[in-house]
Amino acid sequence: MKKKPIDLYYSENHLWIHLEDNKEAVLGVTDHLLANWHEIIHIDLPKKGKNITADTPLGEIESSDNLITLITPVNGKVLITNAACLKNPHTILTSPYEEGWLIKIKLADVSELNTLMDHGEYEDFVEEMEEDTADEDSFNENDY
């Protein structure tokens, strides 16, 4: 899949979804989520045929000093897991929107995508998060 992030739907948990034909969608993680990571040592994803439920754990991505639980933003059924990512998890870092996709799913309800952010909304969301973090850091440093 060679789609630019502008064509995707985004969750607050930094997952992206690309809608394909017949309620099928590809799901992956954004480059923002793993921006400060230098390695991925393990990834855990659901197997083909597993039903996934919105707002529940989908899997995990692990580095030597971080562990992120991926929270799925939609309901559906796993059609395929990206075996290449399981074999070489570093692909997620080097190509999160192309070769680094995680799973393909059959959406239970395509209209759930309307609850997610488009590219511009996601960019604003990330910027606001970074500003909030900077404000918190600044407050903590000056709190003495």
- Sign of the alpha-carbon dihedral angle for 3, 69, 85, 105: negative
* Strand 15-19 to 51-52 pairing: unpaired
- How many structural domains compose the chain? 1
SS3 56: coil
Would you state the pLDDT for residue 36? 86
Is residue 142 one of the residues assigned to a domain? no
User: What percentage of the chain has pLDDT greater than the value 70?
Assistant: 90
Digit-coded pLDDT (tens) for 1-38:
445 678 899 999 999 999 998 899 999 999 999 888 99
Global pTM value: 0.87
CA-CA distance, 89 to 11, in Å (whole number)?
Answer: 21
Asked if pLDDT for residue 135 goes beyond 90, the answer is: no
Is residue 53 one of the residues assigned to a domain? yes
Is residue 141 one of the residues assigned to a domain? no
Asked if pLDDT for residue 139 goes beyond 50, the answer is: no
Provide the domain limits for residue 27: 7-134
Is residue 144 one of the residues assigned to a domain? no
Is residue 2 one of the residues assigned to a domain? no
Is residue 75 one of the residues assigned to a domain? yes
Question: What's the CATH number where 25 sits?
Answer: 2.40.50.100
